A and B are shown apart, each in its own frame.
Chain A
Amino acid sequence: MRAEHRVLLERVARHRDRAAFALLFAHFGPRIKALMVRAGADHAQADDLAQDVMLTVWRKVDLYHPERGSVQGWVYTIARNARIDRLRRGSARAYEDVEALDLASDAPDGEEGVLSSEICEHVGAAIATLPEEQRTIIEYAYAQDLSQTQIARKLKLPLGTVKSRMRLAYVRLRDRLEELR
C-alpha cells in the first residue's frame, strides 16, 4: 500500500492525474478526519479540514521529494500544520519556513540518507517494538494531540517522567532505524 502512495503521488505530480488523486483521497481523507476529530474538531469541521489538507496535497505535490521522506510523513506534516493554524488558531509558519529552507538546500547529504523513504517505511514497525509505556505517550502526543502537560495529567505521572519517556522513545526509534542503514 505504501509503495503505492509514492506511485500515485508521482502520477499526480507528473500528469495531474485525478484518478490517482482520488485513490490517495480515499486512503488519507478518512484518516485525516479521524485525526482532527480526536484533536477536538466536530464532524463538519473535521470534514472541511480533511478536504483542505488533501487540496493542499494536490497544490503542493511538486514540493514532495521521496528522498526526503515518505508520502505519509509528508501528508502528516500538512495535516499537523492545518491543525495548528485552523483548529488551535496558532501559527504553523515556522514549520513552513523550515520546509522552504529544506527545499532551497541541495540534495540530501549522506547523513540525511538515514531517512530515505525505504527506511521510513519501517518507522511503524519500530514504533510497535517500543515498550508500551513509551508507545502510549507517543500515541497521545501525535494521534490524540495531547500536550505534554495533558499527558502527564491523564497518566497521573510527573511531567519529568513523561519527558524522559518521550526522550527514551525517540532515542530507541532512532537507534532502530540506524541499524537498518
Chain B
Amino acid sequence: MTPHHHLDEATVLRYASGDLDEAFSVVVACHVAMCPACRRAVRLAEEVGGALLEEAEEAALAPQALERVLARLDAPPPLPLARPEREEGDVPLPLRRYIGPRLDAVPWKTVAPGIRRHRIRTAGGTPSPLYMLHIGPGKAVPEHGHGGAEMTLILSGAYQDALGRFGPGDIADLDEHIEHQPRVEGGAPCICLVSTERPTRFKGFFSRLLQPLVGI
C-alpha cells in the first residue's frame, strides 16, 4: 500500500518538534506507520532537531549529575522497552494501544443512519477530540469548509472529493481554507480516524455534519 495523499510539510515539522497534541500525533503516527515517504520526511525533520541540539547553548548541570547517572546505569529499567507487536491485525500500530489490533472489533455506536462512531479516550486528556467513523457505501457529505485544522486518515474503504480519491493509508490534512464534498465509494463502508481542532465555530468536514451526533 503506497498512499497518494500525504502530510502537509508544516505538519511534518510540527510532529517532529513535538507541537501536536495526542489526538493529532496519533493520526500522524498512523499515517507515518503506513507511508515510507512520510517516515523519511519525519526523519529529516528530526534531524533538524538534532542539528539545533548540536548548536544549542549549554546550561551547566548540577555538580553531581554525571556521578548520579553513572550510579544508575546498572539498575534495571523500570519498564520493559516497547517492542513492535507481531499480532495479526489491520489496525496501524500507534492506534492499537487504543482499540486493539482488529478493525472488526471496534465497538461502534450508530449515531445516524449509515454512520457509526467510536470515540477514543486519550491518555493525557488531550484538547483535540479523536474518534473513528464508519460511513456507509455511497453516502455523501454536504459541501463544507472547516472551522479549524482537521486530519482524516482512511483505514478502510474510500471516498472521493475535489481533492481526489482517498483510500487506505491516505490522509486528508486540511485547514480551514479547504472546501469539499466527500462521497464514500459504493461497495464498502469507509472507516477513518479523525482528529479535529476544537474550534470556536464548527463547520468542519465530518465535524459539521456530525457535530450534534459526535458530541464534540
Contacts and interface: CB of A to CB of B under 8 A. Distances in A.
A71 to B, nearest CB: 8
Contacts of A21: 70, 73
Interface stretch (B24-32, B133-141, B152-160, B205-213): B24-32
Interface string B97-119: 10000000000000000000000
Contact of A93 (B40, B45, B57, B97): B97
Contacts of B40: 111-112, 114-115
A20 interface: no
Nearest to A108: B40
Contact of B44 (A109, A124, A177): A177
Interface in B49-90: 49-62, 65-66, 68-70, 72-73, 77, 81-84
B210 to A, nearest CB: 24
Interface residues of B, number: 66
User: For chain A, what secondary structure do more than half of its interface residues adopt (helix, strand, loop), or is it mixed?
Assistant: helix
B58 A98 contact: no
Find the residue from A127, A142, A147 having the highest chain B CB count within 10 A: A142
A100 B44 contact: no
Nearest to A53: B69
B13 A94 contact: no
A101 to B, nearest CB: 5
B82 A100 contact: yes
Given A123-B48, A143-B52, A166 B13 contact: yes
Nearest to A169: B13
A170 to B, nearest CB: 4
Contact of B56 (A35, A59, A98, A163): A35
Contacts, number: 223
Interface residues of A, number: 86
User: For chain B, what secondary structure do more than half of its interface residues adopt (helix, strand, loop), or is it mixed?
Assistant: helix
Find the residue from A2, A50, A77 having the highest chain B CB count within 10 A: A77
Contact of B13 (A72, A76, A79, A170): A170
A83 B82 contact: no
Contacts of B28: 94
A141 B17 contact: yes
A170 B52 contact: no
> Can you list the 4 inter-chain pairs with the closest CB atoms, starting with the nearest?
A73-B50, A30-B58, A94-B29, A72-B50
Given A50-B61, A69-B50, A77-B49, 18 more contacts: A18-B73, A31-B58, A33-B61, A58-B73, A60-B81, A73-B46, A73-B50, A80-B18, A80-B49, A89-B124, A93-B123, A98-B29, A100-B84, A114-B40, A124-B55, A142-B16, A148-B14, A177-B44
Interface of A: 2, 18, 21-22, 25-26, 28-35, 37, 43, 46-47, 50-51, 54-55, 58-60, 63, 68-77, 79-81, 83-84, 88-104, 109, 111-112, 114-115, 120, 123-124, 127, 138-139, 141-143, 145, 147-148, 160, 163-164, 166-167, 169-171, 173-174, 177
26 contacts: A50-B61, A51-B69, A55-B72, A59-B77, A63-B81, A72-B50, A74-B50, A88-B124, A90-B21, A94-B26, A97-B94, A97-B96, A100-B83, A115-B43, A123-B47, A124-B51, A127-B48, A127-B52, A138-B13, A141-B14, A145-B18, A148-B14, A167-B8, A167-B10, A170-B10, A171-B9
Interface of B: 8-10, 12-14, 16-19, 21-22, 25-26, 28-29, 32-33, 36-37, 39-62, 65-66, 68-70, 72-73, 77, 81-84, 93-94, 96-97, 122-124, 126, 175, 177
